[in-house]
Structure 1
Amino acid sequence: MLDRDNSRRLLMAHQTADSLESADIEQAISLLAEQKYFWQADNGRNHLTASCWILNPSLDAILLLHHRKLDRWLQPGGHIESCDNDWLGAALREAREETGIESFELLQEGIFDFDIHTIPARGNIPEHKHFDARFLLQAQQTDLSLSEESNDLQWFSPDKAASVIGGDPVMDRMLEKTRLYLTAGPSVKCV
């Protein structure tokens, strides 16, 4: 089960890139304080989620999937499950399930990006928000395995990724963070 105190520490340690991300972090800290089942997808309310911004082994392409239900290109990720002990573990599990990649290196300690986004109502599930922590990873392989949750899974150069997901300020922010990270030079940790 996801630890509330560890989640709060990760949020508070995150250096935000803009006022939108700062506001999202503040809302997430409030969610942790106010909601008992802050990580459970079946709680009928807003909840934490985990995802990965994945670069290829040569650090020149970004992995995106075309989400079947949302009909848009996104980074791999999803709901936290009871077996997940922490946010990064949940993000890695989701990345492995959705991409078929087994081995990653963590390129940046802590949260890479944080966003709150609205998920539309579907069936018996009402509209709700995902409070999503994203982690920056480097894949150790380029071979992919498409999951049932996606229509497509592809590596994109940063410029091509911008044309596929461009116009979304949060996705554009992650692309800019990627450019800044690569300019500064990576330091890796196996996960």
Structure 2
Amino acid sequence: MPISTDHIRSTLNGYLDVHPEDKPGLARVLDLLDTHADLASRKEFRAHATAGAVLVGPDGRILHIRHLALDAWLLPGGHLEPEDGSLLAAALRELCEETGISSESVTSAGPDPIDIDVHFIPANATKAEPEHQHVDFRFLFRTETADISALQTEEVTDAAWLLVDALASRKLGRRVWSALR
């Protein structure tokens, strides 16, 4: 069953109950939901939901992937698919697809996102996509293996386990440090 607008709204509201300080940065997302925008559709170019994974390895490092199209080190993640039952499930699927890590070797740290990040995506003429924003629901996962068996070469050129301090967002870094304690 595809992810519904109600699931996105519920997840966002639950997140804001825990992190009310993030509400100003998510106000536009709330406004879009109020207009009944389908944030689960990647064709909603005002903004659409994506799901990301913050994977903590056995030594406390965070898995990063080198994204082919953006030529940047990012956390694993991506667009929602019709078969995704939840944002958490989408994050796990994306993590496994992009890295080849087995879902059986990954444990979710909880059902709620550790962070929701809204970021700009440049236009992509190849995909006929205008510039838009991603609303990235990021979930924390743990693993006892550092084995990355098969990168999804259509989207990923490399992978590396980096220190928490390498996370682009200081806010996310603080939240990961807190969760690891």
TM over 0.5: yes
Paired residue secondary structure (2:43): helix
Contact 1:105 1:140 in 2 (8 A): no
Return the alpha-carbon distance in structure 1 between the equivalents of residues 45 and 172 of structure 2: 29
Cα distance, 1:131 vs structure 2? 0.8
Confirm whether residue 146 of structure 1 aligns to residue 147 of structure 2: no
Question: Shift in Å at residue 83 of structure 1?
Answer: 1.2
Which runs of at least 4 in structure 1 moved beyond 4 Å after TM superposition?
A: none
Q: Aligned partners of 1:70 and 1:61: how far apart in 2?
A: 23
Query: Which residue of 2 is the match for residue 25 of structure 1?
Result: 26
Residue 133 (1) aligns with residue 131 (2): no
CA RMSD of aligned residues (A): 1.8
> Among the aligned pairs, what percent are the same residue?
32
* Equivalent position of 2:19 in the other structure: 16
Q: TM-score, normalised by structure 2?
A: 0.86
**Structure 2 equivalent of residue 113 of structure 1:** 115
SS across alignment from 1:42: coil
Distance 1:64 1:25 in 2: 25
Shift of 1:140: 4.1
| Distance change (3 Å), C-alpha of 1:17 and 1:172 | farther
Amino acid at match of 1:60: G
The match for 1:188 is none
Q: Aligned pair in 2 of structure 1 residues 59, 137: CA closer, same or farther (>3 Å)?
A: farther
Supply the distance in 2 between the matched residues of 1:51 and 1:33 (Cα, whole angstroms). Answer: 24
Bigger Cα displacement from structure 2, 64-73 vs 23-32 = 23-32
> Greater shift after overlay, 35-44 or 58-67?
35-44
CA distance in 1, matches of 2:96, 2:163: 21
Tell me how far apart the structure 2 counterparts of residues 82 and 95 of structure 1 sit (CA, whole Å).
17
TM score, norm. by length of structure 1:
0.82
Deviation at 1:17, TM superposition (A): 7.5
Aligned partner of 2:177 in structure 1 is 179
CA distance in 1 between partners of 2:89 and 2:69 (Å): 24
One-letter amino acid matched to 1:141:
T
Q: Which runs of 5+ in 2 are unaligned?
A: none
Whole-angstrom CA distance in 2 between matches of 1:53 and 1:134: 7
